[in-house]
Structure 1
Amino acid sequence: MNPIGNLNKLFDSRIRLGVMSVLMVNEEVSFNDLKQVLEVTDGNLASHLTTLEENGYLKVHKGFIGRKTNTTYSITKAGEKAFKGHLAALENMIRSIE
């Protein structure tokens, strides 16, 4: 059996892995907070967030704080399921090597 067969290719990126990890433990996170926590550029983060959104793994909420736009993100049920599946596959892979 292929030990990496059940890993989700979408989470190969350390940035997407980081985004999902942050969203698993926070109900909602702003773009700026994600950028700060992950220490990435606007453009880099935006492209990874778009990929996750297009795959149905996160929801985008656009709003305003005063006159400034505020974009926040939250994980979807599909995203949560996919990420938990990826983590389980990682654990199984590690156990199979021991």
Structure 2
Amino acid sequence: MTSDAEHAHPRHRLDDLLTHPVRLSVVATLAAAEEAEFGFVRDTVQVSDSLLSKQVALLEGAGYVQVKKGYVGKRPRTWLRLSPDGRAVYLRHLEALRDIARPVLGHDD
């Protein structure tokens, strides 16, 4: 016997935090690296320091991103890293997006 969850539309597997384009972009950037400096993520995602700080705070609060502060010489730096939970949520979110698009794309895989 199949459950309702097996037949639920894939949108139900999307993570609400990652439906925001900037947060999705931040997590995607971090998924490609072990860790990244705040300025690199800011420039890659093309947002202001303030906007990135707000989005990272939300992602950190959810346990998706880890933030480490330190210094390079005398200059303060902030490094961002995707947590194991954040990586798992991101991969599930991508899978749900693929499943939503699959009928349109005509892929059966």
Q: Give TM-score, length-normalised by structure 2.
A: 0.85
Label 1:96 to 1:5 Cα distance change in 2 as closer, same or farther (>3 A). farther
In structure 2, the partner of 1:92 is: 99
- Stretches of 4+ aligned residues off by more than 3 angstroms: none
The partner residue of 1:77 within 71, 74, 84 is 84
Equivalences for residues 14-53 of structure 1 within 5 A: 14-53=21-60
In structure 2, the partner of 1:8 is: 15
Gaps of 5+ in 2: 1-7
Distance in 2 between residues matched to 1:79 and 1:31, nearest whole Å: 17
**Larger C-alpha radius of gyration, 1 or 2?**
2
TM-superposed deviation, 1:40: 0.5
Q: How many residues align structurally?
A: 98
Asked if 2 retains the 8 angstrom alpha-carbon contact of 1:3 and 1:96, the reply is: no
Determine helix, strand or coil for the equivalent of 1:4: helix
TM-superposed deviation, 1:39: 1.0
